[in-house]
Amino acid sequence: MNKIISKNKKLLIVLGAYLTLCASLVILLRNPSDSLIQVLFEATVSYNQSLDYFEEDGLYILTTGTGAPMPDKMRAGPQTIVVAGKQVLAFDAGPGSTLKQELSPVDVGAVDALFVTHFHSDHIGGMGELMLKRWGNGSPEQPLPIYGPAGIEAVVNGFESAYAFDKGYRIAHHGEEVMPPMGFGGVANTFDLGSDLMSSETIYKNGDVEVIAFNVAHAPVFPAVGYRVNYKSRSAVITGDTKYTESLIHHSKNADVLVSEALNMKFSKMLAVAGEDTETNISAIATDILDYHISPKEAAVVAREADVQQLVITHILPPCPQI
């Protein structure tokens, strides 16, 4: 008798749970276009980008673009963000990198300056978006300071021209308080390191933060530079695009972190062979790029020779399958 009661009880509990589940699904799916999505959206919507995320004073590095010109489902075009104390410095602005930054803890509106290594499209394609999003998110009174070698002014002016219509739309729609006209665009700060491959210069100094630009070897692209950021007792080096060169070792000496581009020579040659039978230029391009990039192994040699503490490989060429 007791067994029958216990069995019935279990059955009732299971039935009750089943009916509750059905009722929940009916409520959620009553209007699937908004109720289910709305529940999920409400559970995830939040906006909490703040420099307070980096509680301890220090030098932080975010890779917001680790790809290169070839399409890579997982990677945006090259960009490294360095947070030095309360200053946010962006290095290069590859296509899609601003969207990646918006997914990071560092708000685009907080970017204090942009440093450009050279003018290959994969390093500047996102510059317009960065200038616009910084303006929209941060309501700055001043345009974004942009540092780069000779040619940077033409590039900045070009992006400003391309975004001129959008500037007008944004001011008209959101008002001058949200989009102060003076804060639109960028201000180019040009430096000239000359042609000596070993030359360098401090091109930015603000409080405890110092940025040194140095020449790298990316011929026929000239000028092309790398950057070293010094903050209190910490330092980070961003190579830009370069083949192996003594300049890299010299300017990376005792750095805490070296963020180096890298091209896998073996994979690139495989790509060149695979592309031979196609109608595209992929074979020629995969062959040409072999002579002006550094390999991961060579980057490791630079790190070892310069007594660098940590090596970060970025600008992955060619795109590799994710595992």
Residues lying near Zn ion in the complex (CB under 5 A) are found at: 120, 122, 241
117 or 230: whose CB is closer to Zn ion?
117
β-bridge pairing 257-263 and 310-317: parallel
Q: How would you list the strands of the sheet with 79-84, edge to edge?
A: 59-65, 79-84, 87-91, 113-115, 144-149, 186-191
The C-alpha atoms of residue 77 and residue 225 are separated, in whole angstroms, by 17
Smallest distance, Å, CB 158 to Zn ion? 18
The C-alpha atoms of residue 196 and residue 23 are separated, in whole angstroms, by 75
Smallest distance, Å, CB 221 to Zn ion? 6
Tokens 């963020």, located at residue: 259
Structure tokens at 152: 């940077």
Backbone angles phi, psi at 48, to 5 degrees: -140, 60
Catalytic residues: 122
Phi-psi sector, 193: left (phi>0), alpha (psi -120 to 50), beta: alpha
192 or 288: whose CB is closer to Zn ion?
288
Contacts of 194 (CB under 8 A, 6+ apart): 215
The C-alpha atoms of residue 231 and residue 257 are separated, in whole angstroms, by 12
83 or 248: whose CB is closer to Zn ion?
248
241 or 298: whose CB is closer to Zn ion?
241
Smallest distance, Å, CB 241 to Zn ion? 3
Distances (CA, A) of 34 to 10, 24, 40, 242, 283: 36, 15, 10, 51, 49
227 or 231: whose CB is closer to Zn ion?
227
DSSP 3-state of 321:
coil
